[in-house]
Structure 1
Amino acid sequence: MKRVRITLDPAGDYAPPLYRRLAGEASYLDRVRIVNWNVAAPPTAFLLWLRGDYRRFEAELAASENADEYELLPLTDRECHCFLEGEVADAARLLFENFTQGSLITVPPIECHDDGTNTFSIVGTDADIQNAVEGVPDGVGVTIEAVGGETVAPTSAVGRLSRRQREAAEVALEIGYYEVPRRATTADVARELDCATATAAEHLQKAESKLIGALLEQ
């Protein structure tokens, strides 16, 4: 058996509106995990873990045509579990099913990143993993982050970051943003990343939140 860490970059029908809100568009959410799911047959059900101003997401669920049932279970003022059931496009459901074929087991949670990507681990035979990777549709980007390892979870805090968050943190470290006294500003990081200052600040903030949370085992 083999463990593989994968990042998917869905688009179009493979990225339903509510997923896009969870993976970057809802800037008031600091971190999103898909803890568990049932896509065997419509309607599709998900259990989410949210960190941020999750009450704003509750208001969006109330107005959404795709959310048939939902319930928020507060953990703290900034964290909750969210049960969500609703209709999704067949393409999105089949994308999930692609990683449950044969011997494959998808290991939760799925980490949703603010650049629209998501990262998760699968365990299975070499052949089934290869078939699943090759079975990813053309409209979905796929990146193999890691192969093997002693555990099925990410082996480092860095593994929880999206590609853009990791790039922002690496640039910031390289140009002295984290030195004391600080030798670079957020604007300097943005210039290196060729993005807006506000965008660079958001990447750094979310990267720092994930890294600190991982170190404190939250």
Structure 2
Amino acid sequence: MPHAKLTIDVPAETWIGDVSAQHPDLRFEVVAAMPGEDTGIALVRLRTDDPLSIITEIRERADIDELELLWKYEDEALLQIESSNPLLLLPVWRSGVPLTTPFEIQDRRATWEMMTSNSRLSRLRTQLDEFGIGFSIEFVRDVGASQADQLLTDRQQEVLFTAAENGYYQAPREATLGDIADTLDIANATCSDVLHRAEGHIIHWFIDEHMRVEVG
């Protein structure tokens, strides 16, 4: 089962492609996405100094059917957006490949990670080509029961192993998130984010492997 990471050129004609090109320092985090043939719905976290001006800019686009502000706090906001131009997600929907979320978009570049079959990954590449969406493959790794360590970057492994060694996963816990961050000399938020992503990769891998064994 391959674990792949792709960098996607977000089409300029989509709302998120255009807005991210207009504001290259702006970071979008797609928390969840539900694509369809004619519409796409996504939960998007927005990080910027002035979220309201960006929200207004997004709302005024012709391809935005509905925008709901779910919450806003200082330089962050969470939006639920329905768009009539789900071009970015159509290749994913048509190829039947589940994306690992959240994924980030900045300056018209999206980073996608996925674990799927070789045939579906090949189908995704074909769909991206057919829609004229540029992409580059960062890596494709074969993940088996004895290869779980390949799921994680070196940084994720470092943080995860440090947390385990210091008793973060013991019950009751022998170390807090702050203790782990202090040991690694990183911010609490950074430590939390890296751990969350590492745990997410491992959980997705475990579920996929379990389902593969059950089906086999």
TM-score band by shorter chain is 0.5 to 0.7
The answer to whether the Cα contact below 8 Å between 1:157 and 1:214 also exists between their aligned partners in 2 is no
Which of 133, 137, 147 matches 1:144? 137
- Residue by residue over 1:81-138, the C-alpha shift from the partner in whole angstroms, topping out at 9 and shown as x without a partner, is 110112116x44523324x42xx32111221022x12111111112221232233226
How many residue pairs get aligned? The number is: 157
Q: Which residue of 2 aligns with 1:178?
A: none
Residue 83 (structure 1) aligned with residue 80 (structure 2): yes
Q: Which residue does the alignment assign to 1:6?
A: 6
Sequence identity, in percent? Answer: 20
Report deviation, 1:22: 4.2
- Residues 128-139 of structure 1 aligned to structure 2 (within 5 Å): 128-137=120-129, 139=132
**1:1-218 to 2 correspondence within 5 Å?**
1-11=1-11, 15-27=12-24, 29=26, 31-52=27-48, 53-88=50-85, 91-98=87-94, 100-101=95-96, 104-114=97-107, 116-137=108-129, 139-148=132-141, 150=148, 155=153, 215-218=190-193
Question: Cα distance, 1:155 vs. partner?
Answer: 2.3
Q: Displaced runs of 4+ in structure 1, greater than 6 A?
A: 151-154, 211-214
Letter in 1 for 2:121: I
Q: 1:38 to 1:147 in 2, by over 3 A?
A: same
Partner SS state of residue 125, structure 2: helix
Q: Residues of 2 paired with 1:156 and 1:75: CA distance?
A: 33
- Helix, strand or coil at the partner of 1:217: helix
Asked if structure 2 preserves the Cα contact closer than 8 Å seen for 1:95 and 1:136, the reply is: yes
Is the CA contact 1:157–1:215 (under 8 Å) kept in the aligned structure 2? Answer: no
SS state of the match for residue 97, structure 1?
Answer: helix
Q: Structure 1: how far apart are the matches of 2:59 and 2:192? A: 32
* Structure 1, unpaired ranges of 5+: 159-210
Report the RMSD for the aligned CA atoms in angstroms: 3.1
* Separation in structure 2 between the aligned mates of residue 121 and residue 92 of structure 1, nearest angstrom: 15
Q: Provide Cα deviations, 1:125-163, integer angstroms capped at 9, x if missing partner.
A: 1222123223322622221112236379762669xxxxx
